[in-house]
Structure 1
Amino acid sequence: MGQKIYKCRNCGRYTLETVCQQCGLSTIRPQPAKFSPKDPYGKYRRLARKEGILCRK
């Protein structure tokens, strides 16, 4: 299977399409970004998440 799986932001369904067939909205990749110890913005992302600015879904 060479295709990537996507998840709908609205209804939560998984699909292989970039647009959800159920509700018609765009989909996202559910995998987290690759970890890199050289990430220049990781410090700021962790700080924002700690302060509640960024929320995980």
Structure 2
Amino acid sequence: MGHKILRCRECSRYTLNSQCPVCGKKTVIPGPAKFSPLDPYGKYRRKGKIQERKYL
């Protein structure tokens, strides 16, 4: 899964780098991927989440 934009948790700036150019902290993915009802792999992802809950 290729993420194009990242966000710094410290200064809330968006960047394409893995490190914030302003404060130097590590950047993270800003949010979940968009939902699409036509997602061909959604069925398998949901099945995996259900199995994960059984083992917790």
Q: TM-score, normalization: structure 1? A: 0.56
**Structure 1: tracts of 5 or more residues without a match:** 44-57
Measure, in 2, the Cα distance between the counterparts of 1:3 and 1:16.
9
**In the alignment, is the contact (CA less than 8 A) between 2:8 and 2:20 conserved in 1?**
yes
Structure 2 vs 1, CA of residues 37 and 3 (structure 1 numbering), >3 Å: closer, same or farther? closer
Query: More helix per residue: 1 or 2?
Result: 2
Structure 2 vs 1, CA of residues 30 and 16 (structure 1 numbering), >3 Å: closer, same or farther? same
Measure, in 1, the Cα distance between the counterparts of 2:3 and 2:46.
28
SS at match of 2:7: strand
Structure 2 vs 1, CA of residues 25 and 16 (structure 1 numbering), >3 Å: closer, same or farther? same
Measure, in 1, the Cα distance between the counterparts of 2:26 and 2:12.
11
How many residue pairs are counted as aligned between the two chains? 42
Where in structure 1 do 4 or more consecutive aligned residues deviate above 2 Å?
Answer: 33-36
Measure, in 2, the Cα distance between the counterparts of 1:3 and 1:28.
10
- What is residue 37 of structure 1 aligned with on the other side? 46
- What is residue 52 of structure 1 aligned with on the other side? none
